[in-house]
Every structure is written in structure tokens, then in C-alpha cells.
């Protein structure tokens, strides 16, 4: 190998390492915006102490008549303070409802990273299982946008009743590139989905300007268990529930019924 080729290889390696470092830095800055959310905690919320000493704030709306507890995992730039009216809509639709704030969001302590979000989810899950008495087979996970990451991870760890992915990415870096340019990524939902055995419903707006619908299509293709899709024609990223109207809750109820009966909605 002559000196010129060696220099070019060194330059390529340095450039690639710089790209990888920048990608991680920029992805973290784009992913997490707790400061945009309400920064409030509903009075009825519960504070749990995580193993790292930080609080994990959870919200539970019980419904003894509900066959399933819908665990809603929220998106970026929102927290339990913002979600309270929406969670009450889900509750009025016939679900028991559960949610938690990621580290750094709302009243939860710490800083948001992929690892810390998963760790906080496991703290919330222990509370849901042991104190509230809700088993995995009666838990319906619904992850919106960023929330699809912890929802998929939780679904790989125990046999939940079902998994809904709304406006979720295949993985973080591929929102910008689509192709795999780096040997690592964040929230690799598409890669993990084949390990999920429960029914999966993918909901995505055809006009999503933040996470293009091709991500939803990739997630649907990756799911190996019973799977269903709903592509909302005129919906973007932040207006899907409004554009969908009453059908949104109807689709969730139909999917929940399918999860319990084993039939397609």
C-alpha cells in the first residue's frame, strides 16, 4: 500500500468517525425536547423512585370494567400535563389507561437517552404489574412517534396483548437518510419487531412531514405476528388523531377486541 492510498484511507476513517459522532449528537438534540412540553404533572400522578435515584412519574386512570389497560407512550415535545385530556378520552372510550413521563419530561427526573427511557419504562412496568395488578396479557401498548421506541422494546420483553405503533420511525437515523449509513442507530424498531409475538397495528399519516409514511410501511413489513395497518390519507405527524376523528378510537377498540379474541379487526 503506497502512502497516497494510506492517507486517503485515514481521511475516510476520520471522516466516518466524525460523521458518526455528529449523527449521535444531532440525533439527541432533535429527539428530545422536554422543554417544549407543559412541564407540569397532573395532581393525580404518582411518583416512583427509580434505581438511579430519580423520580419516574406515572398516571393511572383505572377502569375495573375494562378488559385491557392501554399503556400510552407519548411522543417528543409532550408530557403527562399535555396528555391529560387525551388520556381521559381514551379512558372514556372504555380503557383503563396508564402512562409515564420519560426522564427529563414533566415531573420525571434525569435526562432523556434511549437507555434511560427504557430504564424508566421498566420502573413503570414494575408498578403496573406488582402494585396495580395488571398482567402483560391485559396490557395494550400504544407508542406514538418517539414512544414507539420504548413500546417496541417492552413488547420484546414480555407477551403483552398487543402493540400499536402510531407515526413511529423504523430507526432514528433513517428518518434523515433512510439507508443504513452507520453500524449503530437509536431505537431500532424495525430490527426488533420480528421478535414481537403479539398482534401489531401500525397507524401512520400519508402526509406525515416529520416521519415519512415509508417508516410505517417498513414497520408493518417487519412485524411477524398478526398485523394490521391503517394509513390515514390526509394526516400529518401532529394532527393524525384530529384528522382521523371518531374513527381513531373506533380503530383502537376494534384492535383491542382482536387482541383478545385472536380475530382480525
pLDDT in tens, 194-251: 999 999 999 999 999 999 999 999 999 999 989 999 999 999 999 999 999 999 999 9
Short-list 152, 147, 150, CA closest to 163: 152
The residue extents of the domains of the chain are 3-261
Grid cell at residue 10: 485515514
10 Å CB burial of residue 89 (0-12, 13-18, 19+) is middle
pLDDT tens, residue by residue, 159-206 = 999 999 999 999 998 776 666 656 678 899 999 999 999 999 999 999
Task: Name the residues annotated as catalytic.
Answer: 145, 208, 237
C-alpha triplet 183, 115, 135: angle, nearest 5°: 120
Q: What is d(CA 224, CA 193) in angstroms, rounded to the nearest whole number?
A: 7
Class of the 3-261 domain?
alpha beta
- Per-chain mean pLDDT for the chain: 90
Amino acid at each position: 500500500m503506497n502512502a497516497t492510498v494510506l492517507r486517503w484511507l485515514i481521511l475516510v476513517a476520520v471522516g466516518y468517525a466524525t460523521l458518526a459522532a455528529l449523527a449521535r449528537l444531532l440525533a439527541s438534540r432533535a429527539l428530545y425536547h422536554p422543554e417544549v412540553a407543559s412541564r407540569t404533572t397532573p395532581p393525580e400522578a404518582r411518583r416512583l423512585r427509580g434505581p438511579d435515584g430519580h423520580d419516574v412519574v406515572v398516571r393511572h386512570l383505572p377502569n375495573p370494567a375494562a378488559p385491557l389497560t392501554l399503556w400510552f407512550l407519548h411522543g417528543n415535545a409532550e408530557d403527562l400535563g399535555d396528555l391529560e385530556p387525551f388520556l381521559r378520552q381514551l379512558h372514556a372510550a372504555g380503557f383503563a389507561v396508564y402512562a409515564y413521563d420519560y426522564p427529563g419530561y414533566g415531573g420525571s427526573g434525569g435526562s432523556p437517552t434511549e437507555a434511560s427511557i427504557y430504564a424508566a419504562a421498566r420502573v413503570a412496568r414494575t408498578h403496573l404489574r406488582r402494585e396495580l395488578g395488571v398482567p402483560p396479557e391485559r396490557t395494550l401498548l400504544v407508542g406514538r412517534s418517539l414512544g414507539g421506541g420504548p413500546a417496541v422494546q417492552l413488547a420484546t420483553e414480555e407477551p403483552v396483548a398487543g402493540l400499536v405503533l402510531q407515526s413511529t420511525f423504523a430507526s432514528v437515523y433513517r428518518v434523515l437518510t433512510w439507508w443504513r449509513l452507520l453500524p449503530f442507530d437509536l431505537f431500532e424498531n424495525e430490527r426488533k419487531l420480528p421478535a414481537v409475538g403479539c398482534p401489531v397495528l401500525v397507524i401512520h399519516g400519508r402526509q406525515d412531514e416529520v416521519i415519512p409514511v415509508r417508516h410505517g410501511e417498513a414497520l408493518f413489513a417487519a412485524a411477524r405476528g398478526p398485523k394490521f395497518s391503517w394509513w390515514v390519507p390526509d394526516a400529518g405527524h401532529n394532527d393524525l388523531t384530529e384528522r382521523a376523528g371518531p374513527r381513531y378510537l373506533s380503530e383502537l377498540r376494534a384492535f383491542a377486541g382482536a387482541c383478545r379474541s385472536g380475530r382480525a379487526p
